[in-house]
Structure 1
Amino acid sequence: MKMKRQNLHFGFLNVGHLLDHLFMLIFATVAALALATDWHMSYANLIPYAMPGFVAFGICAIPAGWIADKWHRHGMICIFFIGIGIASTATSFANSPLQIGCGLFVIGLFGAIYHPVGIAMVVQGRVKTGMPLALNGVFGNIGVAAAALITGIIIDTFGWRAAFLVPGVISVAIGFSYVIFTRVGDLESLYPNEISS
């Protein structure tokens, strides 16, 4: 039973890594395939609106890691899934470049949580860390590789707003599933160095 919970937990972390990179790259495809036409702006003029999100994605990893150490890693991963999902869903309602830029900033803000927290959880309590890190890295790379394809398919099928909305709703659902997972069973077996709240 403990092994099954650990494997399921590892699965959550892997999906989180995939979503983290996917969310950060949605806009590049949306701008190329839809917004340049819909908003009558060149791709070169649209891309700068993604910059604040990438800055937040990098810099905010520092406070995210600090908060995780002071509070709970599993709590931060819950915030990651739900927060980035809500941010992406909200971005789907943007009606101007400024609004979408603000949405991308918040996506980057929540996206910054994953690497200092999720990867630390991947190796937490393990003696051999090479393969878990490798598998987790594969999922992150799948997120990078599949972002354009998944986003393009959603745009062609439902429109550019759905490209933010669909992954957003999925991430929120996964987040609440993770909340339930962390509230049921023996948390100490998954987070031996943390104190349950």
Structure 2
Amino acid sequence: MNDNDRSIVGVAMLAHAMVHTYELSIPILVTVWLDAFSVTPATIGLVVSMGYGLFGLGALPGGILADTYGSRPLIIACLVGMGASFLLLSVAPSVGFVAVALLLWGAAASVYHPSGLSLISKGVSQRGTAFAYHGMAGNLGIALGPLATALLLLAFDWRQVTALLAIPAGVAVLLSLTVEFDETASVEATDGGTSDSKADTVSSLSELVSESRRLFTAGFAAVFAIVMCSGLYYRGTLTFLPDLLAGLPMFDPVSLGGRSLEPSRYLYAGLLMVGIAGQYAGGKLTDRMETERGIMLGFAGLAVVAVIFVPASNAGLVALLGVSAVLGFMLFLVQPFYQATVAEYTPAGLRGLSYGYTYLGVFGVGALGAAMAGVILTYASSSGLFLALAAIAVTAALLAGNLIRTQA
């Protein structure tokens, strides 16, 4: 990588880590909110889905803005908004106020993925490696967010914890403002058929409709369906996993120094930390194999993990630790594959729009996974939830297999 590549990757890694730090601190806070506000999993699942849903729905306008104005202003706005939303959470008097704060978080966070990934795809020459490092930073945030939240909850009230979590966003804003780079350094005439990275940008509703039609070829439509499945699996798995683990006898609270420790929270953080290796492996593999094949194999593995997760959790600690590690690895292995696949199926000038649609699918439609999980856990069981997740993974694997056949 050259200096420009490193600057872009550095800013993107920092912002990506912040986005997922906040995103995955929320499931830890869910375990507190269930008691603090005396609500059911179905209710809190709906509240969380609202914020996570806007996280995805805002990605489409975020992608359009990234194509029009560039990525840096949106990344800065994202960091400012996320910090403000957690300050609001710290004074939430009711679950309704929590919903408002999470909606603000979702709106702010929504612009990151289309702007950040567009920045990498147009400014960095080694996309696969950049996506790998970018994904690893996201996973570091995904792991450290819940870990930091769990540790802070040992010493502080949850309102104080959310206020403290707002501080890193301010630091990230200051650091991001000091770095200079060329956002379009790697755009070539052969990348999407144009040497002008803004030649196809959207500036009106009619252009949005026409350019969306261009994007949704048979190939991109299939990729969009795959990323929706990925979002449903991701959110359906992670939203209530800390609560599910806490319900296992092997993870009963432990008293230490007059405080109650929740071992399940640390397993959850460890599972997400394993995802760093999955992101790195997936990013490296995108430069070495067909991305469609990687997607197919990855989701086939996730289907198997979903089927065996509940039996493994009942078989003892060793089995649970093993299946949790595989889940963490596979859940994030697939992400660099579909991120790189989007770039292959779209022109450079519409890269922000294409990633906007991608994360509309991942986090917008995917947010329904939290509501789905809450409803299934309220009215059925954890076994029913994981069987539903297995069916979603099988669907994604079949869609990827069909892409392979059409490209042959």
TM-score range relative to shorter protein: 0.7 to 0.9
| 3-state SS of paired residue (1:124) | helix
1:19 — aligned with what?
18
Q: Which of 30, 36, 39 is the aligned partner of 2:37?
A: 39
Contact 1:86 1:172 in 2 (8 A): no
Contact 1:28 1:47 in 2 (8 A): no
TM-score of the two chains, using structure 1 as the length reference: 0.83
- Whether 2:21 is the aligned partner of 1:29: answer no
2:172 — aligned with what?
174
Structure 1 residues 12 and 128: alpha-carbon distance in aligned structure 2, compared to 1, 3 A threshold: closer
1:60 — aligned with what?
58
Contact 2:16 2:137 in 1 (8 A): yes
Structure 1 residues 152 and 120: alpha-carbon distance in aligned structure 2, compared to 1, 3 A threshold: same
Q: Percent identity, please.
A: 20
1:110 — aligned with what?
108
TM-score of the two chains, using structure 2 as the length reference: 0.42
Q: Matches of 1:127 and 1:12 in 2, distance apart?
A: 16
How far apart are residue 146 of structure 1 and its match?
3.0
Contact 1:89 1:169 in 2 (8 A): no
Q: Matches of 1:145 and 1:98 in 2, distance apart?
A: 27
Following superposition of structure 1 onto structure 2, how do residues 9-158 of structure 1 map, counting pairs within 5 Å? 9-32=8-31, 34-158=32-156
Structure 1 residues 140 and 107: alpha-carbon distance in aligned structure 2, compared to 1, 3 A threshold: same
How far apart are residue 121 of structure 1 and its match?
1.5
How far apart are residue 43 of structure 1 and its match?
4.1
Contact 1:53 1:104 in 2 (8 A): yes
Structure 1 residues 125 and 15: alpha-carbon distance in aligned structure 2, compared to 1, 3 A threshold: closer
How far apart are residue 22 of structure 1 and its match?
2.0
- Whether 2:183 is the aligned partner of 1:191: answer yes
The one-letter amino acid paired with 2:16 is H
Q: 5+ unaligned residues in a row in structure 1: which ranges?
A: none
How far apart are residue 192 of structure 1 and its match?
4.3
Q: Matches of 1:15 and 1:154 in 2, distance apart?
A: 22
How far apart are residue 41 of structure 1 and its match?
3.0
Structure 1 residues 7 and 87: alpha-carbon distance in aligned structure 2, compared to 1, 3 A threshold: same
Q: Matches of 2:109 and 2:126 in 1, distance apart?
A: 27
Contact 1:17 1:114 in 2 (8 A): yes
| 3-state SS of paired residue (2:21) | helix
Contact 1:84 1:111 in 2 (8 A): yes
Q: State the Cα deviation string for residues 44-94 of structure 1 (Å, max 9, x = none).
A: 432321111111011110000101111131111110111111112112111
| 3-state SS of paired residue (1:50) | helix
Contact 1:29 1:148 in 2 (8 A): yes
The one-letter amino acid paired with 1:73 is S
The one-letter amino acid paired with 2:19 is D
Contact 2:70 2:115 in 1 (8 A): no
Q: 5+ unaligned residues in a row in structure 2: which ranges?
A: 186-196, 199-408
Contact 1:64 1:117 in 2 (8 A): yes
Q: Matches of 2:69 and 2:103 in 1, distance apart?
A: 24
Rg larger for: 2
Contact 1:56 1:108 in 2 (8 A): yes
| 3-state SS of paired residue (2:129) | helix
Q: Matches of 1:90 and 1:46 in 2, distance apart?
A: 18
How far apart are residue 96 of structure 1 and its match?
0.4
Q: Matches of 1:175 and 1:16 in 2, distance apart?
A: 9
